[in-house]
Structure 1
Amino acid sequence: MSYGKVGSGQRLDGNLVETDLHGNQLKKIQTNGGRGYHAVTYDGYLFYNDRDNNVINRITQDSTITEFLKTGDWEPISIHSSHINGDILVGMIKNREAKVTRYNEEGREMQSIQKDNKGQELYIYPHYFTEYLSGDIFTSDLFKNAVVVVNKTGQHRFSYTGPRSGFYPYGICTDILGHILVCDGLNNTVHLLDQDGQFLSLLVTPQQGVEYPRGVCVDDESNLYVGQRNTNSITVYKYLQ
């Protein structure tokens, strides 16, 4: 099962589109989510954020939609399904605050990450994230212009701020070798980092015909999938030999 997002203008809403491996549309679900607002679990559930009602919904493979949890007065803007333990990570904002909250598979809150050891806010707009095998959480924060990394207990490890020319981080994932892959929406590239945030190379550049990269993921065969804004397309690359 493969889900992708189709953009719909300036407002952060859109559709969830299911396709087959050839790009043929199988299903489309209208939502009011935004970028980074859906996740698919290993057992085939699709989670997505209802930002208007501060709710996380769950969709089964037979398209049954149920309410998974409510986030109170926090607006859910991003979501990630952990392939380590099945937990659900949700990025949320409220007024001038932001946090990442961990829920178990039953929707019970397990952890809330908001500030560092000095009491400083870790996040401003945590709109994409992924989890490493060690439990580290890598968060693309657009308004901080950084990838913010905390360990499994929520302690700040480091932040990656990209090239000197500027950096707008969007979609992020990790691969089987422990690399971090993150879209740079300012320079229209995909960065390859090691597990400690050291820059290794650019995987995708504008010379390869990619514009406005927003979503990124890899599969077990080392194929790199890059979703692009406003083109309704996903480009697939072979990036590991």
Structure 2
Amino acid sequence: MDPRAQDVLLCDLCEADPLQSYCELCHINLCTHCVSKHLSDSSKKHNVVPYYLHRKFSPKHPKCLKHADKDCEIYCDKCGIPVCTTCIASGKHKGHNLSDVLENLSFKKQRLQKDLEELETKICPRYEAMSSDVQTEKAEIETNYGKLTNVADRQGEIWHCEITTIVNKRKSDIEESKNKHLVALEKHADEIAHRMTEIKQVILEMKKILDTNDISLASTYKSRNDEFKKMTPKFKVTLPSLSTPTINTEQLNEMFGSLSPLSDITAKPLLDVPRLTATIDTGNDLLLSIRCLGEEQIWTCGKNKIMKLLNLQGKLLTSIQTESGRRAQNIALTRNGDLLYTDTKSNTVNLVKNKQILTVITLQGWTPLDVCSTSADDLLVTMISGDEKQSKVVRYSGSTETQTIQFDDQGRPLYLSHGIKHISENRNLDVCVADNGGKAVVVVNQSGKLRFRYTGHPSDTKESFRPVGITTDSQSHILTSSWDNNYIHILDQDGRFLRYIQNCNLDHPLRLCLDIRDNLFVAELKTAKVKKIQYLSAQC
């Protein structure tokens, strides 16, 4: 072994005590006693580390890429590269912030050390926890879906049992009916047999008289032929029939029960204080309806016949004139982003595609109020009768009417016959209507069965709640605007009040819509401005 390896390394200052530390900026070995003396020199920067750390990595000056015989001892912050003294002398880095390359290395190592600690102690554990949560969720999914399968099996067993009971009852009824028929036929057969016995007896008596010349016997004969000609009424068996109506598969599916829609949307909590993030001046006299096209554009319509597409700075991008020359009652967008509008003059729902207007639905005796496009690309249209005595919601597939929603289970109207009625489909496929005349938000399920009515928060009077706009978000929240108090009510999908959106300088909010990031856009009727509001947290 090299004897020098046994030498004790000494402090560069006192040259007496063994070194314990090293200053990475001054390149000096230090003993424990000399560290404080070295750090007292405030004319220089210092970075004293334990010597074993220094030994782990002894920095080596990099060679200059432009001057191969030079070491880079300086770091140019602006250029982000180490440079040599010749590079500095060339003037190419004049005015740049320069520092010692080892000092820069030390700074970056400190930052790296801080990042490493944060990754190891905070970030990585969070990901590990999330990974653990995912595994737990997967296990719960297996368990819960297994439970759902068992529920379906049990439901099937119940149905099979019920069907078997019904079949056995029908078979019993059939057997009972058969026995009654057989008893009746036996009775009829007995009557015929009795009459036939009588006839045979009469025949024998008649032959006996014919075979004798006994006048007294012949004189007692009385004919019974007329009696026997009156035949016993023929017994005709009419067999019963078993009605077997056609099975309504859709109704059976509904009766069996259905699986709720898949929900994999990341939860976004409501903000404690909603934020007004933008105000857009549409330039209309009155603003009646809006719809978001993506994140940066909105369709608007006012009291004239022009529908305008604007960006969020209020700049006009394009405009469409209604075909009838009358203002659009309301506007909507298809899933492909094409514009829809209702026209009360022509009683039509129209589609604008490539700036061409196509009439999709023409009503007879009814006037369309609002329209929305569903997740299945159907159309839901609210409408009022020509005599203004009825209102309803009709679902269309293309131009074909597929469903009418008008009455509850007791035959009572779901919607009041007058007043505006804005409509939206919720993520759970509920049909939600803001019935202004009825002072309620009316929500029915996909089959048209009433789920609930929301008539305002209990702290409000019913007179103060007159919903005029409605929309639904990715969390299945229902948002509706109240005309009289300038509030936006937020409900959950079951009609429970969650909170208000207020204090956002709203002035007569009319229509509501959402962009793809759940930012709320509120159309103000009188100011003709659109307010953009963030009410959900962006954090998952």
Whether the TM-score (by the shorter chain) exceeds 0.5 is: yes
The number of equivalent residue pairs is 231
| Alignment match, 2:379 | 88
* 1:123/1:141 contact within 8 Å kept: yes
Question: How far does the alpha carbon of each residue in 1:104-136 deviate from its partner, in whole angstroms, 9 at most, with x for none?
Answer: 1x2111101111111111112452111112221
Instruction: Name the counterpart of 1:210.
Output: 506
Deviation at 1:34, TM superposition (A): 5.5
Deviation string, structure 1 residues 166-197 (Cα, Å, up to 9, x no partner):
21101111111111111111111111111111
Matched residue, 1:186: 484
Match of residue 44 from structure 1: 337
* Residue 361 (structure 2) aligns with: 69
Contact kept? 1:116, 1:156, Cα under 8 Å: yes
Partner of residue 102, structure 1: 395
CA pair 197-34 structure 1, distance change in 2 beyond 3 A: farther
Q: Does 1:159 align with 2:159?
A: no
CA contact (8 A) 1:3 1:16 kept: no
Match in the other structure for 1:196: 494
Choose from 8, 16, 22 the match for 2:307: 16
Match of 1:7 in 2: 302
CA distance in 2, matches of 1:17, 1:219: 17
Percent identity among equivalent residues? 34
Report the residue type matching 1:137 in the other structure: V
* Corresponding residue of 1:135: 429
Residues 140-162 of structure 1 show CA distances to partners (whole Å, capped at 9, x for unaligned) of: 00100000011110011110001
Per the TM alignment, residue 26 of structure 1 is displaced from its structure 2 partner at its CA by: 1.5
**C-alpha separation in 2, matches of 1:30 and 1:232:** 19
CA contact (8 A) 2:351 2:357 kept: yes
Q: SS at the partner of 2:512?
A: strand
Residues of 1 paired with 2:301 and 2:528: CA distance?
A: 6
Task: Give the partner amino acid of 2:455.
Answer: T
Report if aligned partners of 1:33, 1:49 keep a CA contact under 8 Å in 2.
Answer: no
Mind listing any 5+ residue stretches in structure 1 that lack a counterpart?
A: none
Contact residue 444 and residue 452 of structure 2 kept, 8 A: yes
Query: TM-score under structure 1 normalisation?
Result: 0.90
- Could you say which structure has the greater relative contact order, defined with CA pairs below 8 angstroms and 6 or more residues apart? 1
Q: Which runs of 4+ in 1 moved over 6 A?
A: none
Gap change, CA 1:117 and 1:33, over 3 Å in 2? farther
Q: TM-score, normalised by structure 2?
A: 0.41
From the two aligned structures, give the one with the greater strand fraction.
Answer: 1
Tell me, yes or no, if the aligned pair for 2:348 and 2:363 is still in contact at 8 Å: yes
Q: Aligned to 2:536, what secondary structure does the other structure show?
A: coil
> RMSD of the TM alignment (CA)?
1.7
Are 2:536 and 1:240 equivalent residues in the alignment? yes
Cα distance in 2 for partners of 1:68, 1:222 equals 29
| Cα displacement (A) at 1:209 | 1.2
Q: Show structure 2 runs of 5+ residues with no match.
A: 1-292
